[in-house]
Amino acid sequence: MNIQYYSKNIDLNDQTKNYIQKKCQILDKFKDQIIGCHWDLSRDQHHRKGEVYRAEINLRIKGDKLLRAEETSGDLLSAVDIAKDKVKSQLIKLKEKFISNRRKK
């Protein structure tokens, strides 16, 4: 799977990239459907307290579909985890919908 990163106001180090790649390995069972994966990671400069990190994932799926999840949290890695879980549930829902449509025919 091709993973692209975009970061704003954050220095992405190799440890963070490896963590994201490790978390995206769960999505490998859908790799025949996934064309590309794009992560947008940012830190809000206007807040001093509270939820300041944002993680957004965009998955391009066969059939010209786009799955997107966005999460804001006080920690970057927890925002990545929650966004990944949201996209995974969207993938499972899409797969179940495809299977049920095939069974109806």
Residue pLDDT, tens place only, 75-89: 999 999 999 999 999
**6 confidence band (pLDDT: 50, 70, 90):** very high
Q: Which fold is adopted by the domain 3-104?
A: Double Stranded RNA Binding Domain (3.30.160)
Dist CA 86 CA 84 (whole Å): 5
pTM for this model (two decimals)? 0.84
**56 confidence band (pLDDT: 50, 70, 90):** very high
Asked if pLDDT for residue 34 goes beyond 90, the answer is: no
DSSP letters along 52-95, please?
Answer: -EEEEEEEEETTTEEEEEEEEESSHHHHHHHHHHHHHHHHHHHH
